[in-house]
Amino acid sequence: MTALLAIDGLTLTLGSSGRRLLSDVSLAIGPGERVGLIGESGSGKSLTAIAAMGLLPPAISASGSILLGGRQVIGTPDHQLAALRGTVAAFVFQEPLTALDPLLRIGRQVAEPLQRRARRDGEPLAGHALDRQVVALLEQVALPYPEQIATSYPHEISGGQRQRVAIAMALACRPQLLIADEPTTALDVTTQAEILTLLDSLVRERNMALLFISHDLPVVAKVVDRLVVLQQGVAVEAGPVARVFSAPEHDYTRALVAAAHAFDRALEGTA
């Protein structure tokens, strides 16, 4: 089985200072696999994801290997990687506003990746057919009144609705791998649970692979099969969720698991 994403010995260094941001990280995701990347803030989770998409800022240099859809990302010019983005992998960010243009109606923004996909597939899409697909996609992410949402501006809908729109845009290109970087962190707890359920069912229905990034172990454990634990740029532990929970090998993972159990007990105590 060819991995959709195969990161091997990835080391990231900050140019000016020579500071190591990531050290020898390896991680592979096959078709339909769901993998969680977990670690405290600043541990290098987002950089790992950004590097995988070939979106590192010029100040950060990379060594090792990143194969995305079988193509080497490190050292490949941006225009050659653009075709892989959306097709092989698409991104959902923590703060949906970063993915949305404040000055464009939602419908226009969702239409853009749909048209890109249609051109890619040699079936250009416009007019009413495009409008229908925009609404259908908004329905798939369970947005109420999709026609109304399509004519709204980002500030006119809620944070949870904006994240659903961002997910719809990522799905528009029918990627084989969805990379979700703390997709629920900016949302309130109830909305967080709804978005998590939505992502989980969308990924399963479409047999998409998922790289789910979070600092929150209980959240990740709900949607993935396998975990990679990052601490200060080093992958200190990797394995199936059940094993990591029942027998964590690294001190840092043990602390994360203990905190998750303590949280559960606190919830039970207040129930």
Ligand X SMILES: Nc1ncnc2c1ncn2[C@@H]1O[C@H](COP(=O)(O)OP(=O)(O)O)[C@@H](O)[C@H]1O
Q: Establish if 76 lies at the interface with Mg ion (CB under 5 A).
A: no
Nearer to ligand X, 111 or 178 (CB): 178
69 binding partner (options Mg ion, ligand X, none; Cβ < 5 to 8 Å by kind): none
| Contact partner, 44, from Mg ion, ligand X, none, Cβ < 5-8 Å per class | ligand X
Pick from 2, 9, 31, 59: which binds ligand X (CB under 6 A)? 59
Of 3 and 234, the one with the shorter C-beta distance to ligand X is 234
Binding partner of residue 59 among Mg ion, ligand X, none, CB cut-off 5 to 8 Å per kind: ligand X
Give residues with Cβ within 8 angstroms of 251, minimum separation 6.
Answer: none
185 neighbors 191 (Cβ within 8 angstroms): no
CB crowding 164-185: b at 16 or more within 10 Å, else e: bbbbbbbbbbebbbbbbbbbbe
CB of 81 to Mg ion, least distance (A): 21
Nearest residue (CB) to ligand X, 55 versus 81:
55
* Residues that contact ligand X, how many (by CB under 6 A): 12
Print the binding letters for residues 36-55 with ligand X: x by CB under 6 A, - otherwise.
---x-xxxxxxx--------
Q: What is the rounded distance in angstroms from the CA atom of residue 189 to the CA atom of residue 16? A: 40
Query: Which residue in this structure is represented by tokens 């602390």?
Result: 255
The smaller minimum CB distance to Mg ion, of residues 34 and 45, is found at: 45
Nearer to Mg ion, 45 or 162 (CB): 45
Chain-centroid distance, C-alpha 154:
20
Which residues fall within 8 angstroms of residue 108, CB to CB, at 6 or more apart?
none
Question: What are the angstrom distances between the C-alpha of 123 and each of 89, 104, 243?
Answer: 21, 25, 46
- Residue number, 106 or 235, with CB nearest to ligand X: 235
46 binds Mg ion (CB under 5 A): yes
- When CB distances are held under 5 to 8 angstroms depending on the partner's kind, the choice from ligand X, Mg ion, none that residue 154 binds is none
Residue 15 in the binding site for ligand X (CB under 6 A): no
Residue 160 touching ligand X (CB under 6 A): no
**Is residue 185 a contact point for Mg ion (CB under 5 A)?**
no
For ligand X, the binding residues (CB under 6 A) are 14, 21, 39, 41-47, 57, 59
